[in-house]
């Protein structure tokens, strides 16, 4: 078998990406629609803050696109995830199952609730939480009681699980739903990266009681900063809206707040940007899929690497494209990162695993060998729709 050739990887990427010397970012927003007109409308009318017609429109169009009954717009995806956990009853001292291979926001949102992240492993088929391995693990350490699921080793309640659809690739949700039902654990989908991704024909974010989306500047569509909660439970939707608007009781002039709430409202000017971006979402997805196909073709015959394709039964938004080194070539990861960035092609490794971060090193965790293996050989490639 021919030896691994770093230059072959670089040349394959260059054959896909535009040339000309300009640095190629990992993921840039694209503004080619009504962004200027909608933002100008906010400026002209003065409706730039936490209420306005674009907030209502953005929520309605998000719900329509995803198939969820309700969408509640908030300031960012982390805020959305925080409120999701509160809505399903996560309390101080609870444990919440989260993948160690995720962005920091997943674990941080658990901490905001005073709860403890409990780290679980991923699978290479989806890059997300491994529901089969989780089921086997819970059979060993969990006990279902009248008050819910409890960790026999710590004595704490295991209240929820938060799968994250990594780089837009849906997790095996059917199996995870089975595990949640068996152990009476709430399912909260971290769909921050998966707007435009479908699992067995259904948009991500619809199988958990609540889910979170993100519209950060590097996401498929952006509101600058922003996020949203999705739910098919009208009562939860109403409560989410109430909690994220400081829990203020509606009145013409008085300021009555009936519980601890959060000032998580998405400003109208950001929602205006989001409305214009949503109008272009289908086109973004077509172009991102075309880019993924070009990467797949260019890398097909390169020894020692594999372009990651969407899991069976799913349709991914290919938010961030993924190059996986074969295990025998994991030692080449940093050299490839250095060479590509040196050639002005922005590539990145996956996030540092959560259980390796100083504030989470002492949290409970299962065997994490797959996530640790993926961390050692995963590289993200430039993925902007404009490419």
* CATH number, domain with residue 161: 3.40.640.10
| 182 in the same domain as 59 | yes
> What pLDDT is stored for residue 19 in this prediction?
86
Q: Determine, yes or no, domain membership for 1.
A: no
Kind of pairing between the strands at 142-145 and 148-151: antiparallel
> What pLDDT is stored for residue 51 in this prediction?
86
**What does the pLDDT average to over 312-319?**
97
| 263 in the same domain as 191 | yes
Q: Determine, yes or no, domain membership for 386.
A: no
Find the domain containing 332 and state its range.
6-30+281-355+363-381
> What pLDDT is stored for residue 300 in this prediction?
96
pLDDT higher than threshold 70 for residue 1: no
Q: Determine, yes or no, domain membership for 326.
A: yes
The token duo for 302 is 């390169």
Q: Among the three residues 265, 280, 295, which one is the final residue of a domain in this structure?
A: 280
Q: Determine, yes or no, domain membership for 242.
A: yes
Pairwise CA distance, residues 163 & 207, whole Å? 11
Rounded to a whole number, what is the distance in angstroms from the first to the last CA of the chain?
Answer: 33
> What pLDDT is stored for residue 12 in this prediction?
96
**Cα 134 → chain centroid:** 20
**What does the pLDDT average to over 16-32?**
92
Q: Determine, yes or no, domain membership for 23.
A: yes
Q: Are 308 and 324 in contact (CB under 8 A)?
A: yes
Average pLDDT, the chain: 96
> What pLDDT is stored for residue 20 in this prediction?
79
| 216 in the same domain as 289 | no
Residue 345 vs residues 22, 27, 79: alpha-carbon distances, Å? 9, 11, 32
| 100 in the same domain as 232 | yes
Can you tell me whether residue 174 is helix, strand or coil? Answer: helix
| 147 in the same domain as 55 | yes
| 232 in the same domain as 203 | yes
> What pLDDT is stored for residue 2 in this prediction?
59
More confident residue, 280 or 5: 280
Confidence of residue 69 (pLDDT cuts 50, 70, 90): very high
> What pLDDT is stored for residue 3 in this prediction?
65
Number of domains in the chain: 2
Q: What percent of the chain has pLDDT over 70?
A: 99
Q: Are 368 and 355 in contact (CB under 8 A)?
A: yes
* CATH number, domain with residue 10: 3.90.1150.10
Beta bridge partners of 198: 203, 315
| 109 in the same domain as 231 | yes
Q: What percent of the chain has pLDDT over 90?
A: 95
| pLDDT tens-digit readout, 100-148 | 999 999 999 999 999 999 999 999 999 999 999 999 999 999 999 999 9
| 193 in the same domain as 271 | yes
| pLDDT tens-digit readout, 238-267 | 999 999 999 999 888 999 999 999 999 999
Cβ neighbours around 246 below 10 Å, total = 16
pLDDT higher than threshold 80 for residue 180: yes
Left (φ > 0), alpha (ψ -120 to 50) or beta: where does 89 sit?
left
Q: Among the three residues 259, 280, 301, which one is the final residue of a domain in this structure?
A: 280
Q: pTM of this prediction?
A: 0.96
| 342 in the same domain as 216 | no
| 236 in the same domain as 143 | yes
Q: Among the three residues 280, 315, 331, which one is the final residue of a domain in this structure?
A: 280
| 66 in the same domain as 154 | yes
| pLDDT tens-digit readout, 343-382 | 999 999 999 999 999 999 999 999 999 999 999 999 999 9
Q: Determine, yes or no, domain membership for 387.
A: no
Angle formed at CA 172 by CA 307 and CA 290, multiple of 5 degrees? 35
| 167 in the same domain as 155 | yes
Q: Determine, yes or no, domain membership for 233.
A: yes
Would the CA dihedral through 104, 71, 179, 197 be positive or negative? negative
Alpha-helical runs (H) found in the chain? 6-16, 35-45, 53-66, 77-87, 104-112, 131-141, 173-183, 234-244, 268-278, 281-299, 333-342, 369-377
Pairwise CA distance, residues 177 & 198, whole Å? 16
Pairwise CA distance, residues 257 & 110, whole Å? 25
> What pLDDT is stored for residue 81 in this prediction?
98
pLDDT higher than threshold 90 for residue 5: no
Q: Determine, yes or no, domain membership for 106.
A: yes
Q: Are 228 and 73 in contact (CB under 8 A)?
A: yes
């Amino acid at each position: 078998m021919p030896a691994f050739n770093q230059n072959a990887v670089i040349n394959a990427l260059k054959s896909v990406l535009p040339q000309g010397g300009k640095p190629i970012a990992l993921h840039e927003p694209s503004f080619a629609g009504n962004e200027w007109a909608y933002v100008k409308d906010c400026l002209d009318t003065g409706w730039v803050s936490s209420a306005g017609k674009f907030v209502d429109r953005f929520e309605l169009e998000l719900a329509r696109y995803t198939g969820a009954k309700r969408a509640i717009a908030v300031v960012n995806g982390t805020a959305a995830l925080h409120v999701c956990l509160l809505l399903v009853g996560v309390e101080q001292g609870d444990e919440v199952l989260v993948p160690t291979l995720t962005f920091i926001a997943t674990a941080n949102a658990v901490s905001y609730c005073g709860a403890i992240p409990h780290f679980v492993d991923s699978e290479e088929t989806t890059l997300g939480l491994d529901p089969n391995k989780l089921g086997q693990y819970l059979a060993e350490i969990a006990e279902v009681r009248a008050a819910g699921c409890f960790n026999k080793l710590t004595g704490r309640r295991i209240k929820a699980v938060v799968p994250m659809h990594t780089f837009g690739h849906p997790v095996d949700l059917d199996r995870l739903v089975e595990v949640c039902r068996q152990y009476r654990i709430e399912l909260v989908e971290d769909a921050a990266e998966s707007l435009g991704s479908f699992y067995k024909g259904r948009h991500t974010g619809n199988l958990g009681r609540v889910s979170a989306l993100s519209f950060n500047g590097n996401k498929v569509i952006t509101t600058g900063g922003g996020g949203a909660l999705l739910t098919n439970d009208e009562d939860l939707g109403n409560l989410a809206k109430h909690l994220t608007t400081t829990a203020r009781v509606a009145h013409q002039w008085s300021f009555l707040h009936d519980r601890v709430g959060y000032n998580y409202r998405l400003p109208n000017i950001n929602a205006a940007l989001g409305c214009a971006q949503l109008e272009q979402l289908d086109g973004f997805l077509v172009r991102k899929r075309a880019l993924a196909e070009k990467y797949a073709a260019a890398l097909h015959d390169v020894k020692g690497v594999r372009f990651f394709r969407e899991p069976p039964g799913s349709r991914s938004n290919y938010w961030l494209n993924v190059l996986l080194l074969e295990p025998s070539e994991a030692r080449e990861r940093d050299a490839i990162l250095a060479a590509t960035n040196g050639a002005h092609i922005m590539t990145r490794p996956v996030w540092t695993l959560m259980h390796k971060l100083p504030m989470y090193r002492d949290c409970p965790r299962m065997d994490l060998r797959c996530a640790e293996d993926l961390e050692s050989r995963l590289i993200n490639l430039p993925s902007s729709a404009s490419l």
